[in-house]
Amino acid sequence: MDALDAIFTRRSIRHFTAEPVSDRDIETLLRAGMAAPSAGNQQAWEFVVIDDRKVLDAVPGVHPYAQMCQEATLCLVVCADLSREKYAGFWVQDCSASTQNILLAAHATGLGAVWLGIAPGGDRAHQVAELLALPGGIEPLAIIVVGHPNEEKEPAERFDPAKAHHNQW
């Protein structure tokens, strides 16, 4: 699948088969996440790979939109190590770019995935950090639920030329 095809056909998948995601695919997803651009090349991202059924089943208890974790065989939690920040606050953009890369890589490899937001901070971030025993200074941005899709969705056409402004508003 070429890059534009992946971008234009990727959809959020929330229903999965019971087939586990292979170690090879997990590595591909992590490599894609780590290939993202980052401010000052800080690469402050860290990833928690969740494939333990007990932990997957516990995620909806700390994230109200994570019910699909009970079907999925994998979640990747994209986090930032704030001690590695060169430019304060840019970890959000860096980890968001990493998250998008993972979503596109999942689609390109035939997997399905959905992005569940955690940041900015608050109770949800605290509860996720507690569930995953994140050390101090590690901030979770997103949970990416991944698996073999058990649903198909048509590409969405979201282009709206009225939202593009040239040279000035």
For residue 160, tell me if it sits in a domain.
no
pLDDT at 121 over 70: no
Q: Exposed, middle or buried by CB within 10 Å (0-12, 13-18, 19+), for 75?
A: buried
pLDDT at 120 over 80: no
What sign for the dihedral angle of Cα 110, 114, 70, 94? positive
For residue 157, tell me if it sits in a domain.
no
For residue 125, tell me if it sits in a domain.
yes
Tens of pLDDT, residue by residue over 41-86, are 999 999 999 999 999 999 999 999 999 999 999 999 999 999 999 9
For residue 58, tell me if it sits in a domain.
yes
CATH number at residue 23: 3.40.109.10
φ, ψ for residue 158, nearest 5 deg: -115, 0
For residue 54, tell me if it sits in a domain.
yes
Percent of the chain's residues with pLDDT above 90: 96
Rounded-to-integer distance, Cα 107 and Cα 113, Å: 7
DSSP β-bridge partners for residue 29: none
For residue 138, tell me if it sits in a domain.
yes
Tokens 């997803």, residue located: 29
Position with higher pLDDT, 69 vs 119: 69
DSSP 160: -
Number of domains the chain is built from: 1
Calculate the average pLDDT of the chain.
96
For residue 22, tell me if it sits in a domain.
yes
For residue 158, tell me if it sits in a domain.
no
Q: For position 119, what pLDDT does the model report? A: 84
DSSP 39: G
Can you give the residue range of the structural domain that contains 20? 3-151
pTM of whole model > 0.85? yes
Helical segments of the chain, H only: 3-9, 23-34, 53-58, 91-108, 122-131
Tens of pLDDT, residue by residue over 134-155, are 999 999 999 999 999 999 999 9
User: Taking the CB of residue 144, how many other CB atoms lie within 10 A of it?
Assistant: 23
Tokens 């979640």, residue located: 75
Cβ pair 73, 134 in contact under 8 A: no
